[in-house]
Amino acid sequence: MANENVMDRVETLDYLKDRMHTERLVVSRYGDGEYMLMNGIFGQKTENIKLTQPLLLNAIKVKGQLVCIPTLKPHNVEKKDRWYEAQKFLMDISKHSLYGNAMWNVHDFMSNNDVLPFIFSKNVILITGYPDESRMVFKSLQPDLKVIGVPRTNTSKVYEEVKIKTLDYINRNKIDNIIFACGPTSGAFIADFINICDANLVDIGSVLNAILNDYTINKPPLIKLHRMSWTNAVDIKKQSDMFFKKLKEIGE
């Protein structure tokens, strides 16, 4: 049986849509990768466990954020598989009263792009491992976008440096939204920024790769971005076009 305190992707998206014009959005995402890092068993070597583990173990407990985690299907509960173990661990350690679905961002991009363009509007900071691609794609539609680049792996090694750089920019500029697309450290950044700025703080994860992908292919020296498995089930160009059309409409 699914946990009633965990919203599914539709409920999570509706929750965000209902609040995005009237309340601050602080939305983090914790999946199986974060779960493994937090337990010291991450095997893909994309992050330094000793640096990232304590950051995440502290970050997920911080109040004032909607922590989005895996939503279970009946077979996950029946088999008590890794998704079941991940959800149980993430809820046990964080103890929030309500959780979102970690795939709300994908659901939004694959359907109507109701929330993502809003997050990219107005005065925005984007922290990403694809800074050059992001600047190229957004430079005409979103000139107020400040891109802060991080390494695509081992972001935790420059965590303090990036945090200081971001806070310096926040102190000198009005910021409406800070978007995180920098892997597991996104959750740590969000927790650190909750009480020191009033901007919306949202982890959009690999959706950024999908938004950028068809706009950066075969345009040297930029690279073809890594695609996640879910992108095989959607017309990336169609959904990206919709995203940019809605972003343009917001700015008009």
pLDDT tens figures, 101-121: 999 999 999 999 999 999 999
Is the confidence at residue 232, as pLDDT, over 70? yes
Nearest to 184 by CA among 68, 39, 55: 55
- Do 204 and 81 reside in the same domain of the chain? no
- Do 80 and 178 reside in the same domain of the chain? no
Structural domain includes residue 130: yes
- Do 100 and 121 reside in the same domain of the chain? no
pLDDT of 167 reads 95
Nearest to 190 by CA among 203, 181, 177: 203
Residues 77-99: what's their mean pLDDT?
A: 95
Contact 26, 203 (CB under 8 A): no
Is the confidence at residue 227, as pLDDT, over 70? no
Least confident stretch, 7-21, 121-135, 208-222, 235-249 = 208-222
pLDDT of 44 reads 55
Share of the chain above pLDDT 90, in %: 73
pLDDT of 52 reads 92
Q: Choose the final residue of a domain: 105, 139, 160.
A: 105
Share of the chain above pLDDT 70, in %: 90
Is the confidence at residue 217, as pLDDT, over 60? no
Distance CA 88, CA 93 (A): 9
Distance CA 66, CA 19 (A): 12
Other beta carbons less than 10 A from residue 66's beta carbon: 20
pLDDT of 222 reads 45
Structural domain includes residue 1: no
Which residue has better confidence, 30 or 234?
Answer: 30
Structural domain includes residue 4: no
pLDDT of 164 reads 96
Domain that residue 100 falls in? 9-105
Residues 8-32: what's their mean pLDDT?
A: 97
Q: Choose the final residue of a domain: 105, 127, 151.
A: 105
Query: How do strand 145-149 and strand 66-69 relate by DSSP bridges?
Result: unpaired
Distance CA 52, CA 50 (A): 6
Distance CA 94, CA 110 (A): 29
Structural domain includes residue 161: yes
Distance CA 163, CA 171 (A): 12
What is the count of structural domains for the chain?
2
- Do 121 and 65 reside in the same domain of the chain? no
Confidence class of residue 49 from pLDDT cuts 50, 70 and 90?
Answer: confident
Residues 128-139: what's their mean pLDDT?
A: 91
Q: Choose the final residue of a domain: 105, 134, 160.
A: 105
pLDDT of 140 reads 83
Region for residue 205 given its phi and psi (left: phi exceeds 0; alpha: psi -120 to 50; beta: otherwise)? left
pLDDT of 2 reads 60
Structural domain includes residue 2: no
Q: What is the dihedral of CA 86, 8, 99, 163, to 10 degrees?
A: 80
Token pair 């103890």 is at which residue? 95
The packing angle between helices 207-216 and 236-251, to 10°, is 100
Q: Using a CB cutoff of 8 Å and minimum separation of 24, what contacts does 47-54 make?
A: 47/153, 47/154, 47/155, 47/156, 47/183, 47/184, 47/185, 48/154, 48/156, 48/157, 51/156, 51/157, 51/159, 52/156, 52/184, 52/185, 52/188
- Do 184 and 235 reside in the same domain of the chain? yes
Distance CA 202, CA 135 (A): 19
Distance CA 228, CA 102 (A): 14
Is the confidence at residue 226, as pLDDT, over 70? no
Tens of pLDDT, residue by residue over 150-202, are 998 899 999 999 999 999 999 999 999 999 999 999 999 999 999 999 999 99
Exposed, middle or buried, 43 (CB in 10 Å: 0-12/13-18/19+)?
Answer: exposed
- Do 140 and 101 reside in the same domain of the chain? no
pLDDT of 42 reads 64
With vertex at residue 12, the alpha carbon angle to CA 143 and CA 69, rounded to the nearest 5 degrees, is 95
Is the confidence at residue 220, as pLDDT, over 50? no
